Amino acid sequence: MIILFLNCGSSSVKYSVYDWDQKKSLCAGAVERIGIEGSFISQDRNGYPTFELKRNCKDHKDAINLVIETLTDKEHGVIENINVISAVGHRIVHGGKFAKSVIVDDKVVEELRNIADLAPLHNPAHIMGIEAARALLPNVTHVCVMDTAFHQTMPASSYMYALPRKWYTDYQIRRYGFHGSSVLYTSRRAAVLLGKNVDEVNSIVCHIGAGASVTAVKNGQCLDTSMGLTPLEGLVMGTRSGDIDPSICFHMMKKLNMSADEMYTILNKKSGMYALTGDRFADQRDVRKGAANGDELCKLALDVECYRVKKYIGAYMAALGRLDCIVFTAGVGERATNIREMILKGLENFGIMLDEERNNAADTNKAECCISADNSKVKIFVIPTDEEIVGVQDIVALLAGTYDVYTKFRYIFQEKDYRNKLRDAAFIEEVKKRPFLLKAAVNLPEQLKQELKN
């Protein structure tokens, strides 16, 4: 069974192709600059050089058509023809009150339109992608995978805002949360690493990238999460402010005669790390480089970011009552050794003990790692996220009629012997270059460990 997975932005279409029978990803790519001069497609396929092609795409239909052409190309493609595609998955950033993935029909599209203003930077583009893909592939099942679905188990005490009741009843103003597929995957992998059932584990998942969130998972279900109605709330991010006093907005709108749209742009695209570094760096790699070279604003930006994460960890520890593990994932969480150290420093009295050597060894996204000390009461894991496999299995189960809300559904990656073969192969190559990476890696078969040591 071949699954085409799409993630449509306002001027881009990211895609991947997954072979369910072989349990492996065939390729991943993106069409960039849709509707802008200089559109191009870039595709990565395991074992082959990156393929790039420039072609103007005036809209999402053009872009998805280019994706299909590339996937079926005799030289660069991965499938014989579009007829082998069993389903198309669509990642939806804001699924509103959808509690699970759903097969697309006109009613689903209409509901996404109704909540489009809750995620104006994302959902309108998703809808354009769905319509374009349905037009090009009308005989294929299309499925929406909701990034907010995992968080629908939050109690009202977590998701309600202290705002006029009619705002909730008439306009659906509440906390929704995001990065749901990532949290679902990593929290369940953490349970496997702990050797426990999912419903026995309390975890805090720190998904830290350009967008960032912290989620409290109690007995395998979302208890609370830092992002809110939109992805703006919570942590300091690349260009998003995260939590602020709302009065600042009204004060500065008056001072600068600023419109609501202008303020929205500032909070989402001109704040965060970018603002803290003096309107210079939104990418944390640049911020870390600046800090290492003595840039005081870059140092401050990292201090503010890490302190905010630490505060959420502390709050969620209190909310959970008992904490089994902390998980770091996503681009920064998986690769930034010093960021993990800054976040966890000072939490030793709570039984959170970082092993410096293991933490330094976990600087690759190619393997699951344990970076806590042996005497740490709370385990600390670095787990590479895999949102694709969550969506793919949802789609496969929907087609088979076996799917249900995540609290009643078991994923293949919850099995003890689940392996990501492509990631294992990449990790082996990493270890050959840097043997010290083995110090932190967990869940590796003994035979593989011995082979790598030899």
The CATH number that applies at residue 187 is 3.30.420.40
Residue 124 belongs to a domain = yes
Report residue 447's pLDDT band, with 50, 70 and 90 as the boundaries.
low
- Note whether 140 and 185 are same-domain residues: no
Question: Residue 418: is its pLDDT beyond 90?
Answer: no
Strands 325-329, 203-208: pairing kind: parallel
Same domain, 100 and 232: no
Q: Which of 197, 98, 115, 110 is nearest to 151 (CA)?
A: 98
Is the residue at 445 inside a domain? no
Phi and psi at 409, nearest 5°, equal: -130, 140
* Token pair 């190309």: residue: 73
Q: Is 284 annotated as a binding residue?
A: yes
Mean pLDDT value of segment 299-312: 98
3-state secondary structure of 193: helix
Residue 72 and residue 203 in one domain = no
278 is annotated as contributing to ligand binding: no
Side-chain-facing half-sphere of 180: CA atoms under 13 Å: 32
Q: Which residues contact 225 (CB under 8 A, 6 or more apart)?
A: 151, 154, 158, 175, 177, 178, 179, 183, 213, 214, 215, 216, 234
Residue 211 falls within a domain, yes or no?
yes
Can you give the pLDDT at residue 422?
66
Range of the domain at 108: 2-146
Q: How far apart are CA 142 and CA 131, in angstroms?
A: 10
The pLDDT score that the predictor gives to residue 417 is 80
| Residue 83 domain flag | yes
Chain-wide mean pLDDT for the chain?
93
SS3 call for 142: strand
State the helix-helix crossing angle for 337-344 and 296-320, rounded to 10 degrees.
60
Q: How does pLDDT run across 174-231, given as a tens digit for each residue?
A: 999 999 999 999 999 999 999 999 999 999 999 999 899 999 999 999 999 999 999 9
Residue at which a domain ends, from 337, 363, 382:
382
> Phi-psi bin for 178: left (phi > 0), alpha (psi -120 to 50), beta?
beta
Q: Does residue 216 share a domain with residue 105? A: no
Query: So which residues are the catalytic ones?
Result: 147
Which residue in 62, 90, 63 sits closest to 5, CA to CA?
Answer: 90
Q: Tell whether residue 207 is among the known ligand binding residues.
A: yes
208 CA to centre of own chain: 9
The C-alpha atoms of residue 113 and residue 110 are separated, in whole angstroms, by 5
| Measured distance CA(160)–CA(358) in Å, rounded | 40
Residue 91 marked as a ligand binder = yes
Please tell me the distance from the alpha carbon of residue 71 to that of residue 199, in angstroms, as a whole number: 40
255 plus 346 within the same structural domain: yes
Please identify, among 382, 409, 434, the residue that sits at the C-terminal boundary of a domain.
382
Instruction: Please give the Cα distance from 447 to 434 (Å, whole number).
Output: 19
DSSP 351: T
Separation of alpha carbons 299 and 340, rounded Å: 15
| Same-domain status, 84 and 212 | no
Q: Answer whether residue 443 shows pLDDT above 80.
A: no
In a domain, 431, yes or no: no
- Tell whether 224 and 105 lie within a shared domain: no
Rounded CA separation 381/391 (Å)? 23
Name the region of 294 (left: φ>0; alpha: ψ -120 to 50; beta: rest).
left
Q: Model-level pTM?
A: 0.92
Confidence check: pLDDT of 156 > 90: yes
Q: Could you count the other beta carbons within 10 Å of the beta carbon of residue 96?
A: 21
Q: Cα torsion at 315, 318, 319, 325 (round to 10°)? A: 90
Total domains in the chain come to 2
Any binding-site annotation on 387? yes
The answer to whether the CB of 126 falls within 8 A of the CB of 211 is no
Tens of pLDDT, residue by residue over 222-262, are 999 999 999 999 999 999 999 999 999 999 999 999 999 99
209 a known binding residue?
A: yes
Distance between CA atoms of residues 382 and 450, nearest Å: 22
Within a domain: 410: no
SS (H, E, C) 14-55: EEEEEECCCCEEEEEEEEECCCCCCCEEEEECCCCCCEEEEC
Query: Of 382, 400, 422, which residue is a domain's last?
Result: 382
In a shared domain, residues 101 and 186? no
Residues 148 and 176: beta-carbon distance below 8 Å: yes
The predicted pLDDT at position 61 comes to 93
Is 140 in the same domain as 187?
Answer: no
368 and 256 in a common domain: yes
Q: Are residues 96 and 23 in the same domain?
A: yes
Whether residues 79 and 199 fall in one domain:
no
**Closest by Cα among 432, 431, 422 to 22:** 422
Give me the mean pLDDT over the 286-306 stretch: 97
Cα 41 to Cα 30: distance, rounded to the nearest angstrom: 6
9 domain-assigned: yes
Radius of gyration of the chain (CA): 22
Indicate whether 14 belongs to any domain: yes
Q: Which DSSP string do the residues of 376-410 spell out, in sequence order?
A: -SSEEEE----HHHHHHHHHHHHHHT----GGG--
pLDDT higher than 70, residue 144? yes
